[in-house]
């Protein structure tokens, strides 16, 4: 069936392993009737799950070739955890692995597991990959390292993978292989702070200094796309290599070819979720730096890289001279630093993980020192990519994801020029729960907080953003994409003299509330790199009515639009957006993920225009006993602000599974260290389950 290793079948995508049946499997394998299957979890992947499927065939004799029917296969699916699956979709790792097996594996051949099927639901992100079970393969051990002989095999096998597509211009222009990483220099620097705090006393000072030197140039290093470029596995290390012993226990002559039957291969490379197109020597430097002891690497490194280079030439690669190969190898030694620091602070912490990260960092940093690779780094601070701008089409609704908590959100806020009146509203569409969330607040200095809260409003159909609920009618109209947006509301709200009553679940005094407001862009629309979200600073004008009171609102604010799975109750954050009296605007968010260092991203828009992306955003606050925030500080890089809440629009959020989050969003006055003043909206998402 698969002599050319091509993917020949298009089965339906299995969202969960429980959907696997003998009939589905038999159709994919063209094996005849399957009587029974036995499934067991293998591996410890976080964004994906792999399972071995043992097969019992019925004696039907219907198989296309009974002698070649596999006794077992491996099935890989998306994680059952919504947060992990959302991360996998957002990072594009599912699409990359499916497309690798569909589009590149048949062309490359070599040391790969045979693929029976690779399918994905592009709208919802679910995927299914059915692979040959290399059951006789022995997984490498990243901590123990490998022998020089094993390293030689791995380097020759790597050349076998790289050669068929080396410097291919078509692949160099293929979008799914050339996606921008959300892990930029600013985030890496913040992760490194947490790494030093956790592991610093167990890392040599000179190795920490290597990390600091690299991180200062990380954006420039990433942006360096000098040729030749080629296929990059992205995580070519021992844990992703299966060493296959032969009957005699020896490595066959054609071991690196990957040709012939499974028993003839000496190495199989797995886990292609990080595949990309980049510097040709990336995988080679990453593998040798992390897989050999420092003494073995020093003694054999140049010979092993020459073996790789010679193998490329033997397979037809031309125009890649040895001197270029060796310098490219030295230049790419820094991937090991990045792939140690970031995962160490983002994945679930384990004792083995700690040991692996410390061993790996010591090996990679020493590799950099031995090769004097820091001399090849670009100047610190160079290479930062230009800020991203949202597309006008993104103002519309987006195809929904599969997750229960997938939602699409439109926020609008404003504070009057005199700083006395504030409002904000959010429309959240939850198509998989068949509801819309509508929240709207009017508040201000020396006035009651008026709240409109409906978590069961009617979900609008199509591209419509008109929402109807019990005593509620709300419309959203984009009159000019990225330029003008209006929101109109008529509703029955509740007035609270004590805004904290909303966090206690108390009801207020009924009052009619309406507004008719327009947001006009006054600044640069900004799209975030790490998530599907954009924000637009605005002037805001229109009318607000509370009971019989009519208020004209002229002021400043912002609007933002995001879509994706959002679990309000799995983490905490502090988001803020404000404007100083000289026209400076600051936007930012500090994420507070359980077990991870705080991570801040954001930007400043100076009065003269433009966007300055920040290396850090920091926040701290004092919370009162009633759940409201009494004071806070926020730093947008070097712009440090004292924050004083003036009025609140708080929410009490309850998850479908009962988890509780308090959301004391506040209209604030701010003061910079240099005396400039202004206003801002700040939100704190505070989870009871994490406190």
β-sheet bridge partners, residue 576:
588, 682
- C-alpha span between 338 and 286 (Å, rounded): 10
688: its two tokens:
């009871």
167: its two tokens:
């410097």
Residue closest to 191 by CA, chosen among 596, 613, 646, 636: 596
Query: What are the DSSP E strand ranges found in 419-503?
Result: 421-430, 435-444, 447-457, 467-469, 472-480, 484-496
- C-alpha span between 481 and 479 (Å, rounded): 7
Whole-angstrom CA distances from 135 to 70, 139, 241, 242, 243 are 11, 10, 13, 9, 11
- C-alpha span between 176 and 274 (Å, rounded): 11
> Is the bond leading into 228 cis (omega within 30 degrees of zero)?
yes
Residue where the block lists tokens 């393969």: 137
316: its two tokens:
């037809």
**DSSP 3-state of 680:** strand
Contact residues for 375 (Cβ-Cβ < 8 A; gap 6+): none
Directed axis angle between helix 185-199 and helix 205-216, to 10°?
Answer: 170
DSSP result, 508-528: -EEEEEEEEEEEEE-S--EE-
The Cβ of residue 477 has, within 10 Å, a number of other Cβ atoms equal to: 12
Residue closest to 243 by CA, chosen among 253, 255, 231, 233: 255
pLDDT of residue 9: 61
Evaluate whether 412 touches 425 at the Cβ level (below 8 Å): yes
Residue closest to 281 by CA, chosen among 295, 262, 251, 301: 301
- C-alpha span between 262 and 685 (Å, rounded): 53
Domains and CATH numbers, the chain: 1-133 (3.30.200.20), 139-381 (3.90.1200.10), 392-690 (2.40.370.10)
**DSSP 3-state of 368:** helix
546: its two tokens:
């509370």
Query: What are the DSSP E strand ranges found in 566-658?
Result: 572-580, 585-592, 599-605, 612-613, 617-623, 629-636, 639-654
pLDDT of residue 261: 40
Contact residues for 237 (Cβ-Cβ < 8 A; gap 6+): 140, 142, 286, 287, 290, 291
- C-alpha span between 310 and 371 (Å, rounded): 21
pLDDT of residue 530: 82
Residue where the block lists tokens 């030689």: 152
pLDDT of residue 64: 43
DSSP state of 273: T
- C-alpha span between 493 and 441 (Å, rounded): 9
The Cβ of residue 121 has, within 10 Å, a number of other Cβ atoms equal to: 15
- C-alpha span between 86 and 124 (Å, rounded): 10
- C-alpha span between 516 and 540 (Å, rounded): 10
pLDDT of residue 101: 96
pLDDT digits (tens, 9 = 90+) for 545-592: 999 999 999 999 999 999 988 889 989 999 999 999 999 999 999 999
Angle CA 282–284–288, to nearest 5 = 125
- First-to-last C-alpha distance (Å) of the chain: 56
β-sheet bridge partners, residue 535:
526, 560
Q: At 411, give phi and psi (nearest 5°).
A: -110, 145
Low-confidence ranges of the chain (pLDDT < 50): 1-8, 61-66, 247-263
Evaluate whether 307 touches 325 at the Cβ level (below 8 Å): no
């Amino acid at each position: 069936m698969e002599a050319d290793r091509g993917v020949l079948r298009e089965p339906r995508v299995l969202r969960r392993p429980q959907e696997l049946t003998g009939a589905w499997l038999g159709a994919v394998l063209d094996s005849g009737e399957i009587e029974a299957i036995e499934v067991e979890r293998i591996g410890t992947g976080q964004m994906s799950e792999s399972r071995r499927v043992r097969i019992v065939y019925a004696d039907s004799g219907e198989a296309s070739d009974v002698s070649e029917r596999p006794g077992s296969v491996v099935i890989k699916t998306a994680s059952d955890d919504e947060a992990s699956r959302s991360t996998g979709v957002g990072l594009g790792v599912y699409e990359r692995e499916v497309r690798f097996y569909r589009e590149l594996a048949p062309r490359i051949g070599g040391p790969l597991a045979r693929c029976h099927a690779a399918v994905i639901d592009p709208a919802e992100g679910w995927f299914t990959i059915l692979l040959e079970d290399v059951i006789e393969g022995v997984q490498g051990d990243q901590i123990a390292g490998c022998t020089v002989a094993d390293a030689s095999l791995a380097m020759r096998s790597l050349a076998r993978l790289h050669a068929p597509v080396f410097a291919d211009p078509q692949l160099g222009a293929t979008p799914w292989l050339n996606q921008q990483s959300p892990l930029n220099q600013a985030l890496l620097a913040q992760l490194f702070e947490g790494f030093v705090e956790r592991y610093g006393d167990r890392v040599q000072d000179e190795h920490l200094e290597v990390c600091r030197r690299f991180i200062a140039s990380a954006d420039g290093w990433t942006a360096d796309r000098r040729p030749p470029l080629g296929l990059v596995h992205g995580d070519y290390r021992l844990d992703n290599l299966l060493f296959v012993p032969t009957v005699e226990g020896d490595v066959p002559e054609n071991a690196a070819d990957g040709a012939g039957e499974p028993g003839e291969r000496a190495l199989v490379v797995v886990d292609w979720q990080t595949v990309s197109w980049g510097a040709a020597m990336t995988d080679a430097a990453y593998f040798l730096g992390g897989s050999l002891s420092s003494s073995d690497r020093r003694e054999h490194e140049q010979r092993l890289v020459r073996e790789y280079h010679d193998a490329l030439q033997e397979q037809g690669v031309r125009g890649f001279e040895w001197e270029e190969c060796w310098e490219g190898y030295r230049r790419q030694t820094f991937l090991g630093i990045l792939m140690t620091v970031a995962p160490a602070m983002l994945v679930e912490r384990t004792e083995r993980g700690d040991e692996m990260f410390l061993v790996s960092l010591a090996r990679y940093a020493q590799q950099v020192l031995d090769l004097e690779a820091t001399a090849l780094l670009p100047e610190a601070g160079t290479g930062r990519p230009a800020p991203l701008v949202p597309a006008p089409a993104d103002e519309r609704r987006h195809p929904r994801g599969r997750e229960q908590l997938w939602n699409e959100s439109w926020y609008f806020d404003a504070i009057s020029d005199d700083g006395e009146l504030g409002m904000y509203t959010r429309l959240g569409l939850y198509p998989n729960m068949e509801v819309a969330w509508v929240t709207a607040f009017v508040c201000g200095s020396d006035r009651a907080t008026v709240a409109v809260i409906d978590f069961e409003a009617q979900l609008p159909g199509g591209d419509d953003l008109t929402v109807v609920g019990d005593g509620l009618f709300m419309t959203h109209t984009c009159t000019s994409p990225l330029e003008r947006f209006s929101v109109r509301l008529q509703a029955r709200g509740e007035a609270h003299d004590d805004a904290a009553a909303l966090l206690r679940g108390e009801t207020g005094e009924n009052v009619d509330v309406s507004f008719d407001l327009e947001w006009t862009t006054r600044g640069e629309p900004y799209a975030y790199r790490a998530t599907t979200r954009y924000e637009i600073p605005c002037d805001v004008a229109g009318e607000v009515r509370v009971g019989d009171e009519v208020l004209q609102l002229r002021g400043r604010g912002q609007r933002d639009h995001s879509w994706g799975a959002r679990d309000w109750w799995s983490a905490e954050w502090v988001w803020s957006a404000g404007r100083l009296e000289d026209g400076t605007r600051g936007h930012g968010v500090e994420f507070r993920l359980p077990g991870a260092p705080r991570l801040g991203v954001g930007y400043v828009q100076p009065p003269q225009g433009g966007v300055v992306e920040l290396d850090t955003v920091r926040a701290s606050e004092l919370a009162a006993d009633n759940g409201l925030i009494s004071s806070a500080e926020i730093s947008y890089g070097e712009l440090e602000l004292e924050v004083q809440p003036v009025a609140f629009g708080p929410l009490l959020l309850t998850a479908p599974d009962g988890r509780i989050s308090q959301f004391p969003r506040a209209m604030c006055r701010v003061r910079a260290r240099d005396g400039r003043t202004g206003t801002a909206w700040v939100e704190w998402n505070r989870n009871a389950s994490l406190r």
